[in-house]
Structure 1
Amino acid sequence: MRQFILATAVSLFATMAGAFEVEDERVFGNGPGPEIAVLSTTDTAFFAPLIEAFLVGRPNLRLRYVVASSQEVYRAIHDEGAAFDLVISSAMDLQMKLANDGFAASYASDAVARLPGWARWRDRLFGFALEPVVLLASRRAMVGLEMPRTRRDLIDLLRAHPARFNGRIGTYDPHVSGAGYLFATQDARQTDAFWRLAEVMGRLNARLYCCSGEMINDLVAGDITLAYNVVGSYALSRVKDAPDIVVIEPEDFTVALLRTGFVPVGAGQGALGGALLDFMLSPRGRGLMDTAAGLPPLDQSLLQPYLRPIRLDPGLLVYLDRIKRENFLAEWDAAMTQP
Structure 2
Amino acid sequence: MIARFALALLTAVTVGSALAHAAPERLTIVGVDARPTVEPLLEALEADMPHTQAEYSEARPSQIISRLLAGVDGAEPIDVLILPTPDLAVYLANEGSASRYPASAIKHRPREHAHWRGEVFSIGYDPAVFVVRKGAIAPIDVPRTRTGLARTLEQNRTRLLRRVGLVNIGIDNVSYAFASQEALRSPLFWRISRAVGAAQARIFDSNEELLQALSQGRVDLAYNVPLSAARKWASENPSIEIVIPEDYVLALPWTALIPEKARNRPTAGDVVDFLLSERAKSALEKVGLTRSQDLATMKNVQFIELGPELLVYLDAVKRSRFLDTWFQLVIQD
Same fold (TM over 0.5): yes
Equivalent in 177, 180, 188 of residue 193 of structure 1: 188
1:46/1:294 contact within 8 Å kept: no
Write the deviation string for residues 102-122 of structure 1: whole angstroms up to 9, x where unpaired: 111111231343343871001
- Give runs of aligned pairs for residues 254-333 of structure 1, distance below 5 A: 254-290=249-285, 292-299=286-293, 302=296, 304-333=298-327
Write the deviation string for residues 246-277 of structure 1: whole angstroms up to 9, x where unpaired: 11122222211111110111111232222222
Write the deviation string for residues 44-86 of structure 1: whole angstroms up to 9, x where unpaired: 3342222222222544432222234556545554455653111
Give the match for residue 12 of structure 2. none
Q: Does the C-alpha gap of structure 1 residues 78 and 242 become closer, same or farther in structure 2, counting only changes over 3 Å?
A: farther
**Structure 2 CA distance, aligned partners of 1:195 and 1:124?**
34
Count of residues in Structure 1 that have an aligned counterpart in Structure 2: 308
2:186 is aligned with 1:180: no
Letter in 1 for 2:169: P
Equivalent in 145, 148, 153 of residue 148 of structure 2: 153
Instruction: Write 1 or 2 for the structure with the bigger share of helix.
Output: 2
Equivalent in 89, 96, 99 of residue 105 of structure 1: 99
Q: Does the C-alpha gap of structure 1 residues 300 and 188 become closer, same or farther in structure 2, counting only changes over 3 Å?
A: same
Give the match for residue 217 of structure 2. 222
Q: 1:145 Cα shift?
A: 5.5
Local SS of the residue matching 1:240: helix
Q: Does the C-alpha gap of structure 1 residues 303 and 267 become closer, same or farther in structure 2, counting only changes over 3 Å?
A: farther
CA-based RMSD of the aligned residues comes to 2.4
- Give runs of aligned pairs for residues 1-339 of structure 1, distance below 5 A: 32-68=23-59, 73-74=64-65, 76-78=67-69, 80=71, 83-113=77-107, 114-116=109-111, 119-143=114-138, 146-290=141-285, 292-299=286-293, 302=296, 304-339=298-333
1:132/1:232 contact within 8 Å kept: yes
TM-score, normalising length: structure 2: 0.84
Local SS of the residue matching 2:158: helix
Deviates more, 1:296-305 or 1:101-110: 296-305
**Structure 1 CA distance, aligned partners of 2:252 and 2:302?**
9
**Structure 1 CA distance, aligned partners of 2:155 and 2:79?**
51
**Bigger CA radius of gyration:** 2
TM-score, normalising length: structure 1: 0.83
**Structure 2 CA distance, aligned partners of 1:141 and 1:270?**
52
**Structure 1 CA distance, aligned partners of 2:307 and 2:48?**
35
Q: Does the C-alpha gap of structure 1 residues 265 and 135 become closer, same or farther in structure 2, counting only changes over 3 Å?
A: same
Q: Does the C-alpha gap of structure 1 residues 336 and 267 become closer, same or farther in structure 2, counting only changes over 3 Å?
A: same
Local SS of the residue matching 1:164: coil
Q: Does the C-alpha gap of structure 1 residues 182 and 75 become closer, same or farther in structure 2, counting only changes over 3 Å?
A: farther
Q: 1:315 Cα shift?
A: 1.1
Q: 1:209 Cα shift?
A: 2.8
1:69/1:177 contact within 8 Å kept: no
Deviates more, 1:57-66 or 1:229-238: 57-66
Local SS of the residue matching 1:111: helix
Q: 1:163 Cα shift?
A: 2.7
Letter in 2 for 1:232: L
1:37/1:63 contact within 8 Å kept: yes
Local SS of the residue matching 1:163: coil
Q: 1:320 Cα shift?
A: 1.7
Q: 1:168 Cα shift?
A: 2.1
Local SS of the residue matching 2:143: coil
